[in-house]
Amino acid sequence: MAGKLILGIETSCDDTAAAVVRDGKDMLSNIVSSQNEIHKKYGGVVPEIASRKHIEVINIVIKEAINKAGVKIGDIDAVSVTNRPGLIGSLLVGLGAAKAISYAQGIPLITVNHLKAHIYSNILINSKIKGNFLGLIVSGGHTSLYFIDNNWKISEIGHTVDDAAGEAFDKIARYLKLGYPGGPIIDKLSKKGDPSFIDFPRPMLDSGDLNFSFSGLKTALIYKTKKNKGLLKKENLNDLAASFQKAIVDVLIEKTINACKQYGCRDILISGGVAANSRLREDFKEICKKENIKLYAPPLWLCMDNAVMVACLGYYELVSGNVSDLSADVYSRSDL
């Protein structure tokens, strides 16, 4: 079979995922086993449970990815795995599986950065995308802005100083007893709500830098609803959700557009779980059209954690000679 076949493995948080991608662009399979149902009752990811669940399903998920791709393990040219940043116990499961396959098959092991993989997910839907663009990665664990130059050198130019945007959605959903993960639930309620119901603060808009902060916004909602319990009535829930969501979306968009102008970019690329938010996507589309900026927003399944993006980035690391070995380790935090 022509082309390089990369097996991608992703276990950095609570999704066990494997995928086979040819030449960094043709997806042959994409398997994701979600642990949402398990963590739901705790209102968030419990790291110890996450790593145990990864162990239970990792081999099944990898086998399924290879079968669905219609290939054999012996056809795989390299194995690419997320080894940073993420939950240590979870990352170790993926790395252990990748090392075993690399050793047994005698194929290269590539260790990749999860956030860089989110950025590369856009190549799958648009392989012509050139450098010099602005990237916003917004998920349950991260909210960061990146400048990607013409050589695809990625520099972080802003980040959250406390909670990630997805974390704020998840925490507020837990406070409102709506369920987990909170982002999609708040997104759904907001569709029927009035975003001007409560004028929440837009934190950090005047901070003079490109950083974010969402912890105060979360506190503002809790404070307002404790002071006025009527806000928590069922008939106000959609409006409350829509107002909270709009405050997050406004900040994410304004900061990203500012960064785009500051760095002289004409393209914006968004990814990560919160990039699936319908209000964020719609508002981004509108403002980018007005500002004559091209917006790259991957389909929803590609915004969430997956191994397709890990295999895609793995291909580019492989052809650049960035290969790892069996001494590779995992890291809870990591710069790009």
Q: Is 183 a binder of ligand KG4 (CB under 6 A)? A: yes
Nearer residue to ligand KG4 within complex by CB, 158 or 166: 166
Mask: binding to ligand KG4, 266-305, rule CB under 6 A, as x and -? ------xxx-xx--------------------------xx
- Residue 81 near which of Zn ion, ligand KG4, none (CB within 5-8 Å, type-dependent): none
**98: partner contacted, choices ligand KG4, Zn ion, none (Cβ within 5-8 A by kind):** none
Q: Does 139 bind ligand KG4 (CB under 6 A)?
A: yes
In Å, the largest CA–CA distance within the chain is 65
Let me know if 104 is exposed, middle or buried by CB neighbors in 10 A (0-12, 13-18, 19+). Answer: exposed
Among 35, 82, 121, 139, binds Zn ion (CB under 5 A): 139
Phi, psi for 128 (deg, rounded to 5): -85, -5
224-231, long-range: CB < 8 A, 24+ apart: 224/198, 231/198
Q: Which does 9 bind (CB under 5 to 8 A by kind): Zn ion, ligand KG4, none?
A: none
Residue with tokens 């009035």: 194
* Residue 16, number of CB atoms within 10 A of its CB: 30
Q: Which stretch binds Zn ion (CB under 5 A): 34-42, 125-133, 299-307, 328-336?
A: 299-307
Answer yes or no whether residue 82 interacts with Zn ion by CB under 5 A: no
231 burial via Cβ count (<10 Å: 0-12, 13-18, 19+): middle
The C-alpha R_g of the chain, in whole angstroms, comes to 20
Q: Interface with Zn ion by CB under 5 A: which range of 51-59, 131-139, 160-168, 313-321?
A: 131-139
Tell me which residues touch ligand KG4 (CB under 6 A).
13, 139-141, 166, 169-170, 181-184, 187, 272-274, 276-277, 304-305
